[in-house]
Amino acid sequence: MKILGIDEVGRGAVIGPLVICGLVVDEKKQNELKKIGVKDSKELTPKKRGELIEKIENIAEHTIVLRIPACNIDDSRKNGTNLNQLEAIKMAEIINISNADIAIVDAPSHNSNKFRDFLYSKLENKNIKLVCENYADKNYPVVSAASIVAKVDRDKKIEELKKEFNYDFGVGYSHDVKTIAFLEKMAKENNGKMPRHVRTTWDTVVQITKKYRQRNVLGFLDRFVKKN
Domain ends where: 114, 136, 162?
A: 162
Under the banding of pLDDT at 50, 70 and 90, the label for residue 191 is: confident
Number of domains composing the chain: 2
| Same domain, yes or no: 171 and 154 | no
Classify strands 62-68 and 18-26 as parallel, antiparallel or unpaired.
Answer: antiparallel
SS3 60: coil
Assess whether pLDDT exceeds 50 at residue 167.
yes
* Integer CA distances (angstroms), 165 to 11, 60, 150, 159, 161, in order: 22, 35, 23, 10, 6
| Same domain, yes or no: 174 and 214 | yes
Domain ends where: 139, 162, 185?
A: 162
Q: φ, ψ for residue 196 (rounded to 5)?
A: -65, -15
Please name the residues in contact with 20: beta carbons below 8 A apart, sequence gap of 6 or more: 6, 7, 8, 65, 66, 68, 87, 90, 91, 94, 150
| Same domain, yes or no: 138 and 154 | yes
| Same domain, yes or no: 174 and 112 | no
| Same domain, yes or no: 71 and 55 | yes
Under the banding of pLDDT at 50, 70 and 90, the label for residue 131 is: very high
Assess whether pLDDT exceeds 80 at residue 213.
no
Tell me: the pLDDT tens digits for 4-13? 999 999 999 9
Averaged pLDDT score across all residues of the chain: 92
| Same domain, yes or no: 32 and 140 | yes
CA dist 33 and 29 (Å) reads 7
CATH of the domain at 194: 1.10.10.460
CA dist 4 and 95 (Å) reads 8
Average pLDDT of span 200-216: 85
Tell me: the pLDDT tens digits for 172-182? 999 999 999 99
Position 227 scores a pLDDT of 54
Domain ends where: 146, 162, 178?
A: 162
Under the banding of pLDDT at 50, 70 and 90, the label for residue 127 is: very high
| Same domain, yes or no: 211 and 128 | no
Beta bridge partners of 62: 24
Please name the residues in contact with 114: beta carbons below 8 A apart, sequence gap of 6 or more: none
Assess whether pLDDT exceeds 50 at residue 23.
yes
CATH of the domain at 147: 3.30.420.10
| Same domain, yes or no: 75 and 18 | yes
| Same domain, yes or no: 116 and 23 | yes
Assess whether pLDDT exceeds 80 at residue 24.
yes
Q: Name all contacts of 112-121 with Cβ < 8 Å and 24+ positions apart.
A: 115/84, 115/88, 118/84, 118/85, 118/88, 119/88, 119/91, 119/92, 119/95
CA dist 103 and 143 (Å) reads 10
| Same domain, yes or no: 22 and 84 | yes
pTM of the model: 0.90
CA dist 151 and 208 (Å) reads 27
Position 224 scores a pLDDT of 41
What does DSSP assign to residue 79?
Answer: T
- Tell me which residue range forms the domain holding 86: 2-162
* Integer CA distances (angstroms), 173 to 11, 62, 95, 202, in order: 10, 30, 28, 11
| Same domain, yes or no: 117 and 191 | no
Q: φ, ψ for residue 49 (rounded to 5)?
A: -60, -40
| Same domain, yes or no: 156 and 223 | no
